[in-house]
Structure 1
């Protein structure tokens, strides 16, 4: 089994050697630009890991892994346009550096490039792999649309939120692992179990992210703590608080949500205080643990040696046990 650091090095080398046509520059330069911003490149590493777990040749999975990395960055490029985000990984976003039309078209070209990379798998498994990839891509788009629709609604329910993060975030983890498993020669049953592992782990990871946004140490978390509160983002914590709050607490919480001008520190402190009184963090942690257990239950059923299952357990723990 190759270590995650080895897989990351393989992915980074492959991404760094990618070249695109010089003309038209406004179409291809933004693709090189966003890919050069780096990031954890977790998803392509997962594809290589899944292939390796089942005894496949990791080198045969490099181009499908690139497909996942290019696809993921395509979604980020378009997400940044929709969110009007000025920065991505500390650098100017594509739509700010060029313009929105360039970012839209370059993103479209990235989706095409991702398909071209994925098409390079062996013909014997091509249809299976492309079915998983296309279903995954559709799910991500559905999740993003549902998330945007939540911004216009005041009555989002917990089950709707969980379904949204399943589509927007988790199915890409699951689909990536499943593709890697197929390339590695896994049975259909084992590939599906690994998919379930990835999806449930992805949901647990997003719930942990929701918790850390409120309760994390900003130096360790790497993001502004309380950012979701300031933007009224409908996370598990806010939805649960709206469900449970009554009387004065409900009035206070809704007043903070309605205010257009406010002191940032005061708002974060007040809303966090409401969460504390309602034990919202405990509810979120229990939900996160539920999905983590579902992931590990799927893992336990995969036909792998115990040392290989333990490798995946340790990987999952590294995602879920993060410092606050």
Structure 2
């Protein structure tokens, strides 16, 4: 059995074996650039971990694992254009290094490449895998649309936000695990339990990402703290603050949200102080713990006891105590 670090090395080695040295260069070079940026490779690792949990062969799950990673990176190419993000993983975003049209077309090609990898699954499970993958893919698109809709709305609720991150982030983590389970011929109930484990870990993961963007340590978080505050991103923290604030606090919060000219550090400090005063930082932590507990309950419902299950437990714990 491979541990998490060994699976990471395995996935990275296989990704490097994919050849994009073909014509037209301007289509394939951005794909290689995107995949070479690195990353945690969480989705393919989860797929392979689930396969190991149910005593399957990780080699059989490698093509769909790669498909999940290529698909994820495809979404990042397009997300960066929509968000007008300059940087991805401390390097110029594809649409900045080349241009938006190149990033769109290379992203489209990545989506097709993902389906090519997916089609290498065994024939017996291919229809089920395709159906699940399609469900995940359209769900991610729906989540992204909600995220864009929220940018121009001031009445977004925390429940709407949680549904958005369920679609945009959590279902792909959950689906990655379920793909691995299906490929290992896991019983349906267990495949659903591993999906629910991933879904709740995914929700906790995104809530923690929002929390770290505001309250993380810049030395370990890897980027400037307060980016979501500067961008007026409607996170769980902001939406909870609006819901809990009194008249004066709402006025103070709205003053910073609507300000077109401001000192970035002053805005970050002022909004963080409001978050702390309203205790939405604590509320966010409680919500993370709630989803973490649900995830662990789903995992405990799988009556398997092996090293792979311990690796998943360790993965979940590390996710809840990460600093970046």
Native 8 Å contact 2:49 2:312 kept in 1: no
- 1:169 lines up with 2:169 in the alignment: yes
Aligned to 1:283: 283
Aligned to 2:155: 155
Native 8 Å contact 2:53 2:306 kept in 1: no
Spell out, residue by residue over 1:291-311, the C-alpha distance to the aligned partner (whole angstroms, 9 max, x if none). 111111111111311654333
Structure-1-length-normalised TM-score: 0.97
Task: Map 1:144-223 onto structure 2 (within 5 A).
Answer: 144-223=144-223
Native 8 Å contact 1:71 1:111 kept in 2: yes
Cα distance in 1 between the residues matched to 2:221 and 2:230: 17
Task: Map 1:51-70 onto structure 2 (within 5 A).
Answer: 51-70=51-70
Task: Map 1:21-32 onto structure 2 (within 5 A).
Answer: 22-32=22-32
Cα distance in 2 between the residues matched to 1:302 and 1:119: 28
Native 8 Å contact 2:4 2:311 kept in 1: no
Structure-2-length-normalised TM-score: 0.97
Aligned to 1:300: 300
- 1:254 lines up with 2:257 in the alignment: no
Q: Across the two proteins, how many residue pairs are aligned to each other?
A: 324
Native 8 Å contact 2:49 2:308 kept in 1: no
Whose RCO is larger (CA < 8 A, sep 6+)? 2
Task: Map 1:80-95 onto structure 2 (within 5 A).
Answer: 80-95=80-95
1:72 CA drift (Å): 0.6
Aligned to 2:99: 99
Spell out, residue by residue over 1:99-149, the C-alpha distance to the aligned partner (whole angstroms, 9 max, x if none). 111111111111111001011010000011111111011111110110011
Question: After TM superposition, where is structure 1 displaced by more than 6 Å over at least 4 residues in a row?
Answer: none
1:217 CA drift (Å): 0.7
1:6 CA drift (Å): 1.0
Native 8 Å contact 2:213 2:225 kept in 1: yes
Task: Map 1:217-232 onto structure 2 (within 5 A).
Answer: 217-232=217-232
Cα distance in 2 between the residues matched to 1:323 and 1:60: 33
Cα distance in 2 between the residues matched to 1:167 and 1:192: 17
Spell out, residue by residue over 1:214-244, the C-alpha distance to the aligned partner (whole angstroms, 9 max, x if none). 1111111112111111111000000000011
1:323 CA drift (Å): 3.9
1:88 CA drift (Å): 1.1
SS of the aligned residue for 1:223 comes to coil
Unpaired segments of 5 or more residues in structure 1?
Answer: none
Native 8 Å contact 1:55 1:185 kept in 2: no
Cα distance in 2 between the residues matched to 1:87 and 1:225: 15
Unpaired segments of 5 or more residues in structure 2?
Answer: none
1:212 CA drift (Å): 1.2
